[in-house]
């Protein structure tokens, strides 16, 4: 993944983020909350269903998914979705110091909320896709061993990476740094340049969800609709359309069915939008959409 050097410099190991959270009293509680919500709403329900068959599981594949090639070379990028938001917190902490503690605590609360809201769908009905049986490297194998792969809609890979961009932008705006010192790029500030790189990273991860066969085009469409409904100030129609138009323009350039895939993402987004009721619970259209899929693997021959 070719990202600007300055953005790479902001990357640290998750261990450094954990140390930052544990040694900062304002961040320790929210950081622990993220871990506990992820465990309770994402990991444990999957293993409960695997062992006890406690919830229904449906297959949300679409015929176009089969035409998108499996690209295991993107595995590292795919797995960077958690380091992405951890590094965002670390970079913002380095830039603003303790003055941003309250804002960074809110950032972590926002990540926890994304897990919690997605979990409210997973606890009702699990969703999965057909994954490749032959795995070319250890990283791909580890994903399949450690991830039961039952929480596809909404895709946390999509919602959390773009959610982290949204939350980071909120911190930068709150600190009055959106138009700080210029970097030499047409007046773009250092904070703006870093934020643009964060967004670019998020867009690339969204592509890998399909290239790694961990998600369907159906998952991406539903996840973007969720962001639009729950966070309309950051993910209005124009922003979501731009994300869809950008699919398979960076990592998936070799995909021959890019427009067909984008069309299906738009179709799912539009379907959920049409089924949204004014003042109603956003979960209702997504749950109805998920439960419309079969409980057996599809045969798209």
What pLDDT shows up at residue 7? 58
249: helix, coil or strand?
Answer: coil
Each domain of the chain, given as residue ranges in start order, spans 5-291
**Which residue in this structure is represented by tokens 């961990």?**
214
Strand pairing report for 182-185 and 188-189: antiparallel
**What's this model's pTM, rounded to 2 decimal places?**
0.94
pLDDT of residue 184: 47
Sign, CA dihedral 217-221-227-232, equals positive
pLDDT along the chain (301 residues), means of 10: 53 85 96 97 96 96 97 94 94 95 98 98 97 91 93 98 98 86 62 92 96 98 98 98 97 96 98 88 96 92 61
**The pLDDT of residue 10:** 57
Contact 212, 78 (CB under 8 A): yes
Residue 5 confidence (pLDDT): 54
What confidence score (pLDDT) does residue 181 get? 62
CA 52 – CA 150 distance, rounded (Å): 14
Question: What is the distance between the alpha carbons of residues 223 and 198, in angstroms, rounded to a whole number?
Answer: 19
């Amino acid at each position: 993944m070719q990202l600007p050097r300055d953005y790479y410099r902001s990357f640290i190991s998750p261990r450094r983020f954990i140390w930052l959270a544990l040694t900062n009293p304002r961040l320790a509680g929210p950081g622990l909350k993220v871990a506990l919500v992820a465990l309770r709403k994402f990991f444990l329900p999957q293993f409960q269903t695997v062992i006890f068959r406690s919830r229904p599981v449906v297959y949300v594949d679409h015929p176009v998914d089969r035409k998108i090639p499996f690209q295991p070379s993107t595995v590292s990028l795919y797995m960077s979705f958690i380091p992405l938001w951890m590094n965002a917190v670390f970079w913002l902490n380095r830039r603003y110091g303790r003055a941003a503690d309250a804002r960074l605590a809110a950032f972590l609360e926002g990540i926890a909320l994304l897990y919690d809201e997605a979990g409210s769908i997973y606890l009702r009905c699990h969703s999965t896709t057909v994954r490749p049986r032959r795995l070319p490297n250890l990283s791909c194998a580890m994903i399949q061993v450690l991830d039961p792969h039952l929480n596809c809609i909404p895709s946390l890979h999509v919602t959390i990476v773009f959610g982290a961009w949204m939350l980071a932008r909120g911190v930068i705006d709150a600190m009055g740094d959106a138009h700080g010192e210029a970097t030499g790029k047409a007046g773009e500030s250092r904070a703006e340049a870093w934020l643009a790189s964060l967004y670019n990273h998020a867009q690339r991860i969204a592509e890998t969800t399909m290239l790694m066969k961990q998600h369907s085009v159906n998952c991406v469409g539903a996840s973007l609709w969720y962001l639009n409904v729950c966070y309309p100030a950051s993910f209005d129609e124009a922003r979501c359309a731009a994300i869809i138009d950008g699919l398979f323009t960076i990592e998936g350039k070799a995909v021959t069915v890019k427009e067909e895939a984008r069309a299906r993402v738009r179709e799912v987004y539009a379907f959920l939008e049409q089924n949204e009721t004014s003042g109603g619970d956003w979960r209702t259209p997504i749950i109805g959409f998920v439960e419309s899929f079969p409980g057996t693997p599809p045969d798209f021959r």
